[in-house]
Chain A
Amino acid sequence: MTFRRIMRSFRLKLLMVMLSTTAVALLLAGSALLYIDMRDYHGVAVRDIQTQIALIGRASAPALQFGDPQVAAENLTLLDIRPSFEAAAIYNSRGQIFATYVRHGLEGDFPRFPGNEGVWMEGGNMFAFHRILFEDQIAGTIYARIAYPINERLLQGAGVIGLIILAALVLATLMSGWLQRFLIKPVVGISTTARRIVSNRDYSLRAEKLSDDEVGDLADSFNAMLAEIEARAGELERFNRDLQNEVAERRRVEAEVWRLNRELDSRVRKRTRELEQANAELEAFAYSVSHDLRAPLRSIDGYGEALAEELGEELPDDAGRYLDKIRTSTRRMGQLIEELLNLSRLSRAQMRYDTVDLSAMAGEIINEQQQRDPERKVHVVIWGGMTAKGDPHLIRVVMVNLLSNAWKFTAHTEKPTIEVGNLEEEGRSVYFVRDNGVGFDMAYSDKLFGVFQRLHGQNEFPGIGIGLATVQRVIRRHGGRVWANAAPGRGAVFYFTLRPDSASNAGDDGTDGGMEHEHGDSMPGSGDEPQAGRKLPPV
């Protein structure tokens, strides 16, 4: 049994503690007893030898006095009843041996001269000299030798103690089995439980409480701890399960999102295909409009002309007029188709972004208008330094339409004024074209940007009603918004932006946009120049 093994076994350790405690206790007790025994034995021997030789000395004093060794020898023979006395002698006052005694079978071996009074020990014997006094005179000396087996006795005592210890240890070892049941077993039970818990991770196990002592308390505490751990472990497990569920749920959702994305993707692709198809159909339609619809018109006009030419004067007046009307309508329809095609082309054309000098562009357009219409005198105000980001060609289309409208609808106005400017609103530019022409009723503003919608009679103001639809198409392609504000007889303002509104809810159809701006009371062209940052100019 190695020390290491002992150190690893609680049972052995306990046994060792018990055994060593027993051994040490018994050794100490035995040693003490032995010591006391030795001391007593020594004292008894000393007293015995002294008493006996003193008695015999006194009894022999007269014999010495009278020189009767016979009596002295008889006195010495009394020692025979004391088995420890081996030899004794009486010396006379001159130091000569007077009488002797030797136990049967032993040697006398007397000192030749009496020594000093006293007791000494030597080699398993005790020796003593005692002065015999007679009437206060030294009559002689008595000597005795007794057996004094102190070493044997010591060995014997030690042997007994050893035996006792051995017996105690054997007993203690035997008792350890019993002790184990009461002491170690509960602890080992706890330990076993702990081991099983560690290996099985089963926190529902409980240590058996086998006693009400500290180990029992330990078992209670251990079980309480286990309960706590079990609760925590359960909580943790629940948490883990929740987490796992959450992870699973998340995976499921991710898969779902992925699936939906794919579905969306395929749907988008499908829609894109459909859109492309629709676009292709639209283009085919546009193509057929451009080609097929115009051919019959050309025929109508052509044959009308032929009819007019062939019959000429023969036609009744009314018939000639009707023929003219037919041809005018035909040409007008051709024009409508042409404009529609232009509009469709604007929607399809590739966008090319650039910085546009809007002030310069407006100036050029106004000059063109003036050249086409040299008679008119229009007061035109164009703010300097206006730039815009967009497709230069498309923005020109917008400006041409808005400015030609302004030009057209101020035809019957006294002191016609057209103003082109821009304002900053919510970080983006709002451009406007304002005139003091006929204006329109805001009740019809929803018709304003529709194709072929006109708010004025053809006789009053010529036009086919596609300009503002075109404007809106272009503005929308830029992601901007166009709206108007007007009142009959008080002019109109058209606003447009070329970038998406910062507020995402702002509709870009522009038809209701005009309602956002209150009708101003100030008359158009009243002279106050709008300043940047001011509220949008009223009509």
Chain B
Amino acid sequence: MPDKLILLVEDNEEDEELALRALRRAQIADRIEVARDGKEALEYLFCEGVWRDRDGSRQPDLILLDLKLPKLNGIDVLRRLRADERTRRIPVVVFSSSSEDEDITRSYCSGANSFVSKPVSFSCFAKTIGELGEYWLSVNHSPSRPSPPA
């Protein structure tokens, strides 16, 4: 799978490490960027703050977004993404420990493309991540990338 970029928004270091492990094992992405909170995720996407020097024309092919995040929660991040022309077409999978109806509904209403609960069992977790990458990066066709801002 050539040149695929995943943005993982995850505050829990262990979850991050396990997710990276699972993603690596599944070999579904060339590059995985990690944001530790909602603010950093937005800075990454909009090339601000520490990500000021990032190439803004290269947006992630998939965002795995945790809901419970410090500073700015997942739903807020989702809303900001969907409100901006540069990021509104990026597939976002909410990847959360929650399986609450309310969270699912709010996620979809805020523009999530998918909602997946993190299983407790690592094998299930890894399998799920593999399937997610497989689907969103190979099976699914995303809209072509928007032209970089002038």
Could you tell me if B14 and A302 are in contact, using CB atoms closer than 8 angstroms?
A: yes
Inter-chain CA distance A336–B68, complex, in Å, is: 22
- Taking CB atoms, residues of chain B closer than 8 Å to A302 are 14, 17-18, 21, 122, 125
Interface residues of B in 83-99 (CB under 8 A from A): 96-99
A305 vs B99: C-alpha distance when bound (angstroms): 24
- Looking at A119-127, A184-192, A291-299, A514-522, the stretch in contact with chain B turns out to be A291-299
Interface positions, chain B 76-111, Cβ under 8 Å from A, are: 96-101
Of A291, A294, A345, most buried by chain B (CB within 10 Å of CB) is: A291
Interface string of B109-140 (1 = CB under 8 A from A): 00000000011111101100000000000000
Within 8 A of B (CB), among A297-339: 297-299, 301-306, 327, 330-331, 333-335, 337-338
Q: Once the chains bind, are B120 and A290 in contact (CB under 8 Å)? A: no
- Asked if B27 CB lies within 8 Å of chain A CBs, one says no
Classify chain A: how many residues form its interface, as a range.
20 to 34
Kindly supply a per-residue 1/0 record for chain B positions 14-40, scoring 1 wherever the CB is within 8 Å of any chain A CB and 0 otherwise: 110110010000000000000000000
Partner of A294, one of B14, B67, B97: B97
Q: Does A341 contact B (CB under 8 A)?
A: yes
Taking the complex as formed, is B12 at the interface, i.e. its CB lies under 8 A from any CB of chain A?
Answer: yes
Closest to A333 in B: B120
Tell me whether A295 and B98 are in contact in the complex, defined as CB-CB below 8 angstroms, given that A302-B125, A331-B120 are known contacts.
Answer: no
- Closest residue of chain B to A342, judged by CB? B99
A353 adjacent to chain B (CB < 8 Å): no
Name which of A286, A299, A334 has the most chain B CB atoms within 10 A of its CB: A299
Count chain B residues whose beta carbon lies closer than 8 angstroms to a beta carbon of A: 22
Asked if A291 and B121 make an inter-chain contact with CB atoms under 8 angstroms apart, the answer reads no
Known: A305-B123, A330-B120. A295 touches B100 (CB 8 A): no
Q: Which residues of A contact B96 (CB under 8 A)?
A: 291
Q: Which residues of B sit under 8 angstroms from A298, Cβ to Cβ?
A: 14-15, 18, 97, 118-122, 125
CB-CB nearest in chain A for B17: A302
Nearest chain B residue, comparing its CB with the CB of A330: B120
A287 at interface (Cβ–Cβ under 8 A)? yes
Q: Separation in Å of the A20 CB from the closest CB of chain B?
A: 113
Q: Report the minimal beta-carbon distance from A14 to chain B, rounded to whole angstroms.
A: 105
Does B120 lie within 8 Å of A334, measured CB to CB? yes
Cα A305 to Cα B119 in complex, Å, equals: 14
Q: Across the interface, which residues of A come within 8 angstroms of B17, CB to CB?
A: 302
Mark B residues whose CB is within 8 Å of A. Answer: 12, 14-15, 17-18, 21, 67-68, 96-101, 118-123, 125-126
Which 8 A-B pairs give the minimum distances between C-beta atoms?
A: A334-B120, A302-B122, A302-B18, A299-B14, A291-B97, A305-B122, A301-B122, A294-B97
